[in-house]
Amino acid sequence: PIGVIGHVANLFGARVKKTEIKAVAGVDLQVRRGEVVGIVGESGCGKSTVARMLAGISSLSAGEISYQGVRLPDMTREQRRAFDLGVQMIFQDPFASLNPRMRVVDIIGEPAVVHGIVKSSEKRDYVIELMEKVGLSGAYADRYPHQFSGGQRQRIGIARALAVKPSILICDEAVAALDVSIQAQVLNLFMDLREEFDLTYLFISHNLGVVEHISDRVVIMYLGKAVEVASTEDLFDNPNHPYTRLLLDQLPLLEARERDYQPIIGELPSPLDPPPGCPFHPRCPHVMDRCRSEMPQLLPVGPDRVSACHLNAPV
Ligand code: SF4
Ligand code: MG
């Protein structure tokens, strides 16, 4: 069913080897070109694991990823190289991923030179142009990472990703470490770059407000499983899954706190040892008998949306 640039499919059918998480999600997700898909869930729900698998950093033992119509294991070297360059990650803490002993001109420009995207002699001009596109002055090209603020370092990380001409950016809590005012600036930057560079995003965050702002479609995860997938509009206007509804109820609280805030809805069980039946049943206000033993499947609950809850499939 795949075959268009920017498609990453069956991602969520994947399992992590040696299992930090037993099963990651069980939904076939096709990311459409140019789309922003938000992946939401509390800490520890497996979002980062999914991100790492999608980017090809962690290996899969089941499930599959396709890129531009080709499954990962079937790729030729050239296709695998195109995947590695085409799917780039933006991390929460850019500082940890920026070599402190390298100048920004090399941090941003070296990968592009190594992969033959620019000649060594053109690197500086290429980097300066990218720096300006992400809102940094090219005059800072010879500085080191520690000479920049957190928001500027995130911009360096973004420029470095853009330098290899990706089609998909996977952003894992990419604004979570930033002050709220800076978060908005960086989110706006992502949106501007989407147009200019024809980018597709997977935007992973525990912050529903951030995801609402940026996403076209949202995947709600709970304990390593997708429990609801819907367009942002449908999800926020008319949430289906009880867990989604609980998250949305927390949203005003989250906004009132202003700072990045983790909603607390009772204890989060370990994804390693999820409860039997519906993984959400110990926290669900609508729990029924069958929820304790029978795992609900993702079923259509409207055009282009699915949800995994027994309330949608009465016996
Ligand atoms: Fe709640 Fe049952 Fe639906 Fe799970 S399946 S979300 S426990 S009502
Ligand atoms: Mg994480």
Taking ligand 2, which is a single-atom ion, which protein residues have CB atoms under 5 Å away?
48
- Cβ of residue 309 lying under 6 Å from some atom of ligand 1: yes
Residue 213 contacts by C-beta under 8 Å, 6 or more apart in sequence? 187
Model pLDDT for residues 25-81, shown as the tens digit of each residue:
454 567 777 889 898 877 666 667 667 667 666 655 445 677 777 777 788 999 888
Residue 110 CA to ligand 1 centre (angstroms): 50
Residue 43 CA to ligand 2 centre (angstroms): 6
Does residue 137 have a pLDDT over 90?
A: yes
- Cβ of residue 242 lying under 6 Å from some atom of ligand 1: yes
Residue 280 CA to ligand 1 centre (angstroms): 6
Whether 163 contacts 154, CB under 8 Å: no
10: left (phi over 0), alpha (psi -120 to 50) or beta: left
Give the pLDDT band (50/70/90) at residue 138. very high
Whether 308 contacts 244, CB under 8 Å: no
- Cβ of residue 288 lying under 6 Å from some atom of ligand 1: yes
ipTM > 0.90, yes or no: yes
Alpha-carbon gap, residue 156 to 192, rounded angstroms: 16
**Among residues 172, 222, 135, 197, which one has the least CA distance to residue 38?**
172
Model pLDDT for residues 280-299, shown as the tens digit of each residue:
999 999 999 999 999 998 88
- Cβ of residue 287 lying under 6 Å from some atom of ligand 1: yes
Model pLDDT for residues 202-216, shown as the tens digit of each residue:
898 888 888 998 999
Model pLDDT for residues 294-314, shown as the tens digit of each residue:
999 888 899 888 899 999 987
Whether 281 contacts 275, CB under 8 Å: yes
Mean predicted lDDT score pLDDT of the chain = 81
Q: Which amino acid would we find at residue 5? A: I
Does residue 143 have a pLDDT over 90?
A: yes
Which stretch, 1-10, 82-91, 259-268, has highest mean pLDDT? 82-91
The strand pair at 299-302 and 225-231 is best described as unpaired
Average pLDDT over residues 185-209: 91
Average pLDDT over residues 260-270: 57
Q: Interior CA angle at 44 toward 38 and 46, to 5°?
A: 55
Model pLDDT for residues 86-133, shown as the tens digit of each residue:
889 898 877 787 899 999 999 999 999 999 999 999 999 999 999 999
Greater confidence (129 vs 1) lies with 129
Alpha-carbon gap, residue 297 to 38, rounded angstroms: 21
Alpha-carbon gap, residue 107 to 105, rounded angstroms: 6
Find the range with the poorest average confidence among 18-27, 105-114, 181-190, 255-264.
18-27
Whether 105 contacts 123, CB under 8 Å: yes
Closest ligand to residue 174's CA: 2
Domain 11-276 class in CATH: alpha beta
Q: Which atom of ligand 1 is nearest to the CA of 312?
A: 3
Average pLDDT over residues 262-271: 59
The DSSP secondary-structure symbol of 56 reads T
Whether 183 contacts 207, CB under 8 Å: no
The DSSP secondary-structure symbol of 297 reads P
CA distances from 221 to 26, 226, 244, 310 (A): 11, 4, 9, 17
Average pLDDT over residues 171-176: 89
Residue 94 CA to ligand 1 centre (angstroms): 38
Structure tokens at 74: 């079937």
Residue 198 contacts by C-beta under 8 Å, 6 or more apart in sequence? 33, 34, 167
What pTM value is reported for the model? 0.83
Sheet strands side by side (includes 36-40): 87-90, 168-172, 200-205, 36-40, 217-222, 225-231, 305-307, 299-302
Confidence at residue 158, expressed as pLDDT on a 0 to 100 scale = 96
